[in-house]
Chains A and B, each alone.
Chain A
Amino acid sequence: MNTERFAAQFPQMQWDAATSSWIVPHQSLLEIALFLKTDPEFRMDLLSNVAGVDWLSSKEKVRGEDGKPVERERPGYLEVVYHFYSVSAKQGPIVLRCRTDGRATPILPSITPLYRSAEFQEREIYDLYGIVFSGHPDLRRILMWDEFEDFPMRKDYVSPDDYEWEPTPHDDVLERARQHRREEERRRA
């Protein structure tokens, strides 16, 4: 696989060596996927995996103008990871990562018109992360019920407080148990 040619073709991509993946701006995702699918050398005919990731905003250290490290806020975003393989050319994977513009407007282009195997996986990501895939033929919830309003795999998801007593509470459960105990005592008082 001549990845130099791939990189030269799409200079808007950014190589991330730590995860061996290409970070792709969502405006050109479909164009890049079409290239991977149709190029005679790559022939990426199998989209094996589409996965969602939630990145909360965080502090990151960068080198400032005067050379000293400065701390700045990195805004949060949602990300989708695509794994492409070629069965006919026996090569792969090529990993693309596509990020939304912030967590408030989680919209990405749907890859389903190119790869039918993405249909259910994009529905699952929509169900659990709330990323809206524009151009998806049938974007509905797939695992949770239709009336459900939350996105449970997001890191800021708050699950319903249906704690019940456990013999060995620990971590979050212990904290919740203490909270319930306090409420119980307040009710009694």
Chain B
Amino acid sequence: MDDWLKSELQRAGVFVTTLEWVYNQSRRSSVWPLQFGLACCAIEMIATAAARYDLARFGAEVFRPTPRQADLMIVAGTVTKKMAPQVVRIYNQMPEPKYVIAMGACAISGGPFKQGYNVLKGIDRFIPVDVHIPGCPPRPEALLNALMFLQRKIDRQTLGAAQPLRWYDPMDRAEFPVPACGAHDLVPTHTRAIWKPEASPRPLT
């Protein structure tokens, strides 16, 4: 059905829509984040949820203290190598559909601690990230923008078999291996299925 016919029918008092639209509208309007913060970015996340920036305008104000009720994981702050297994385990405990926003320089790349010995160089090594937000820390507006970006991403989800969604695949349990704390580093250092090291694209001087 095209948009012209839809609006003509609406004019006559008949509301026509797709199941897809209903699904996506429900999902995008109640993205409940998981209530946890890892470092200073969490303060900005709290500010975003509070009255001044008011995350509630986007339907995402209900921070859940349990992963079983959460749809969105906001990885807000520095992920140390000691913390990374716990973050992956919490992600595994979230029910589908689930989304991840990596907030801040540390969560997306290790940030100022990238060359250190104890900080993970980006949480996307272990769990699939939907939206990356740069910044140290990102302003609340940036987090709001990331949420709107995620909502647009949800709008594009289809129920059709052409682009099957991950959580309709009975074989895909969307569980990612929890890294073990090894003698020198995490074992393994990344999950091969979702992340591979980038080759240097240009000559070094």
SS of B interface (majority): loop
- B183 with A181: CB separation less than 8 A: no
Chain B 173-196 interface 0/1 with A at a Cβ cutoff of 8 Å (1 = within): 000000011111100010000000
- Select the stretch in B113-121, B130-138, B159-167 that faces chain A: B113-121
- How far apart are B111's CB and chain A's nearest CB, in angstroms? 13
Residues of A within 8 A of B201 (CB): 165
* B interface bracket (residues with beta carbon within 8 Å of A): 20 to 34
Check B89 for interface membership: any CB of A closer than 8 A.
no
Among the listed B114, B180, B197, B204, which residue makes an inter-chain contact with A181, where contact means beta carbons less than 8 Å apart? B204
Closest to A163 in B: B197
SS of A interface (majority): loop
Which chain A residues (143-163) contact chain B, with CB distance < 8 Å? Answer: 143-150, 152, 157, 159-160, 162
Residues of A within 8 A of B115 (CB): 172-173
- A144 with B118: CB separation less than 8 A: yes
The count of chain A contact residues (Cβ–Cβ below 8 Å) is: 25
**Complexed CA–CA distance, A157 and B184 (Å):** 11
Assess A164 versus B181: contact at CB under 8 Å? Given A145-B82, A152-B118, A159-B117: no
Closest to A146 in B: B181
**Complexed CA–CA distance, A180 and B118 (Å):** 21
Q: A interface vs B, CB < 8 Å?
A: 143-150, 152, 157, 159-160, 162, 164-166, 169, 172-174, 177-178, 180-181, 184
